[in-house]
Structure 1
Amino acid sequence: METVKVTAETKATVVPATRKKRKLTADHWFAFSFLLPSIVLIFIFVYGFIGWTGYVSLSSWNSLVPDFSFAGLKNYAYLFSDFRFQADLRNTLVFTILFISVVIILGQFLAILLDQKLRGESIFRNIFFFPMALSFVVTGVVWQWLLNPSTGINLFLKKIGFESKWYTDTNILASLHWGKIEFGVPVAMIAVVIAAVWQMTGFAVAMYLAGLRAIPDEVREAARMDGATEFQIYRKIIIPLLRPITVSVIIIMAHISLKIFDLIYAMTGPGANFVTDVPGVYMFETTFRGNYYANGAAIAIIMLLSVALFIVPYLISSRKGES
């Protein structure tokens, strides 16, 4: 049998052939021509307007008459020294922590209950998922009526001698001091968190339920054979396996909470002493009611950067995982 010797010359002829780039065919250009309008519109109406907002935030346009003279970081310095914006940042942090924590705990608990294959699972699943079909505006109006001191739940409670202001209550339920900074949890913010959790828990339930159904039964059976109890199986095996889903839920819920506007605006507005005010509400009133366009643009850029702090690392890690 003859042996074939691979020399350096044959390698030189083979390697470039394997690395030869594919030529763009007519089908590629045809597909690109269909995508081109969408790409152009995205660059104009997304990235173009983001750039325009950033440019306006560095200008002196704080009146009805446009003034594009460069102001540097003057608008940002004003915001971080403004009492209302400082309250907005604290309220956003409090709302985000409470909202994400309750959604994750309640979503996992309900998903585990649904995973027990009980009768009427489809009915309960539809009940949990239904609030997601509503907009935040509808949710805000409904919960405003339910928690109003003169209607809804409080009308019944008032008859039995218990009256609560709920979403209008400015009292601080709990507070945390960090140096000179105080993080308070007003009762009104609790009411907003309840409404937001009611709407978005169904999403977490769907995510966790899909993760639970993807875990093989052999994992549970092997743990039972080793003498693990059901509580130990969920605490040490099932819940750790759901960690990627938990990260996804945290990222999505943080994205929603950091740019929340419609729910709070429809339900409470800024609230007395700005107890439920958030940057989204402040931006709307500053830009479209006060005509301070540069300040409103600065608030929008700060909101964009805060969301990007969560989304960008998540996207980078996702791409690394796929590669």
Structure 2
Amino acid sequence: MKPKTKKRLSKDRWLAFLFILPSIILIAIFVYGFIAWTGYVSLSNWNSLVPDLSFVGLKNYLFLFHDFRFQADLRNTLFFTILFILCVLILGLFLAVLLDRKIRGESVFRNIFLFPMALSFIVTGVVWQWILNPSTGVNLILHKLGLKPMWYTSVSVIPGVEWGKIQFGIPVAIIAVVIAAVWQMTGFSLAMYLAGLRAIPEELREAARIDGANEFQVFTKVIFPQLMPITVSVIIIMAHISLKIFDLIYAMTGPGANFVTDVPGVYMYETTFRGNFYGNGAAIAIIMLLFVAIFIVPYLISSRKGGES
């Protein structure tokens, strides 16, 4: 390579670096710098309006894991995440398979299913709070039929096994929140799966049929394995949403009676900005970050290795 060409490449690299340098600085300060500050506060005794940054180690974390409300939050987050991801995957795949048959009015149905994604979780929470309210919405019809659904006002936990300070199981009230979340995010799963289905060559399906496979075998042995990368991506994205969910639950139910619909995001908000327990609130935020990192970091590492190979 000629010296002039090398000099030009070096100049272009430095110029490109200078262009992205402001973004690097801002991200370093307002993302990673604030994460580090939150971690530092979580190890301090700052639990009042007066700042107290004296080091207390893991005191705030130990308090949380012995706290009834935070134990309930972990239970609610676990079952909300499982139910939410399963329903989004199953419904999204089912609808994508139906639309992949190129039915009449496909674009209309596709837009109908995608429309909820245009709404914020705040709007979704308000709407479904009205729909599932025991005294309004569809429940007026159910009451006339002799049914009295509790929806998100129930404090029942199924099966309700004693675990620590809480009953471990699926809170009945959290199912109402799952319904609202699935209604909004199924369109995303549908779009992902539909794109994946349309990318599978028809020759693969025909080859399987020629070999004697029925339609169920074609789907399970040929189509679904091709959709596994999309399934993993949807799981990661939905898990990221569910683990840091706040606005939907805050608008729809709040913490709920006996904290049956409470989640770490709501607890962190009320602890930090209403109770002024900044050390405890920062500890909750760090725990939420770690939960999300458990899903995101392995996925990013595997994606990077796949891209390099």
TM-score, L = length of structure 1: 0.90
Aligned partner of 1:83 in structure 2 is 68
Q: Which structure 2 segments of 5+ residues have no match?
A: none
Structure-2 separation of matches of 1:301 and 1:180: 23
Structure-1 separation of matches of 2:7 and 2:201: 42
Q: Which has the larger radius of gyration?
A: 1
Corresponding residue to 2:256 among 258, 262, 271: 271
- Report the more deviating stretch, 150-159 or 87-96: 150-159
Q: Following superposition of structure 1 onto structure 2, how do residues 63-102 of structure 1 map, counting pairs within 5 Å?
A: 63-102=48-87
Quick one: structure 1 residues 237 and 81, their matched pair in 2 at CA, closer, same or farther if it must change by over 3 Å? same
Aligned partner of 2:45 in structure 1 is 60
Aligned partner of 1:155 in structure 2 is 140
Aligned partner of 1:5 in structure 2 is none
AA aligned to 2:201 is P
Q: Does 1:166 align with 2:151?
A: yes
Corresponding residue to 1:119 among 104, 108, 119: 104
Structure-1 separation of matches of 2:7 and 2:205: 48
Quick one: structure 1 residues 145 and 181, their matched pair in 2 at CA, closer, same or farther if it must change by over 3 Å? closer
Q: Does 1:190 align with 2:175?
A: yes
The count of corresponding residues between Structure 1 and Structure 2 is 306
- Report the more deviating stretch, 248-257 or 22-31: 22-31
SS at 1:152's partner residue? coil
1:185 offset after TM fit, Å? 1.2
Corresponding residue to 1:223 among 205, 208, 217: 208
Quick one: structure 1 residues 23 and 30, their matched pair in 2 at CA, closer, same or farther if it must change by over 3 Å? closer
Aligned partner of 1:211 in structure 2 is 196
Identity %, equivalent residues: 77
CA deviation vs aligned residue, 1:123-172 (integer Å, no higher than 9, x gap): 01001111111111100000000001111110121122222121111123
Structure-2 separation of matches of 1:22 and 1:83: 64
- Structure 1's consecutive aligned runs of 4 or more residues displaced over 6 angstroms after TM superposition are 176-181
Q: Following superposition of structure 1 onto structure 2, how do residues 12-51 of structure 1 map, counting pairs within 5 Å?
A: 24-51=9-36
AA aligned to 1:31 is A
SS at 2:138's partner residue? helix
1:23 offset after TM fit, Å? 6.7
CA RMSD of aligned residues (A): 2.0
Structure-2 separation of matches of 1:68 and 1:207: 46
SS at 2:22's partner residue? helix
Corresponding residue to 1:318 among 279, 303, 306: 303
TM-score, L = length of structure 2: 0.94
Paired residues of 2:71 and 2:165 also in contact (CA < 8 A)? no
SS at 1:231's partner residue? helix
SS at 1:185's partner residue? strand
Paired residues of 1:167 and 1:187 also in contact (CA < 8 A)? yes
Paired residues of 2:42 and 2:280 also in contact (CA < 8 A)? yes
Aligned partner of 1:241 in structure 2 is 226
CA deviation vs aligned residue, 1:280-313 (integer Å, no higher than 9, x gap): 0100000001000000000000000010000000
1:58 offset after TM fit, Å? 0.5
SS at 1:70's partner residue? coil
Structure-2 separation of matches of 1:163 and 1:259: 32
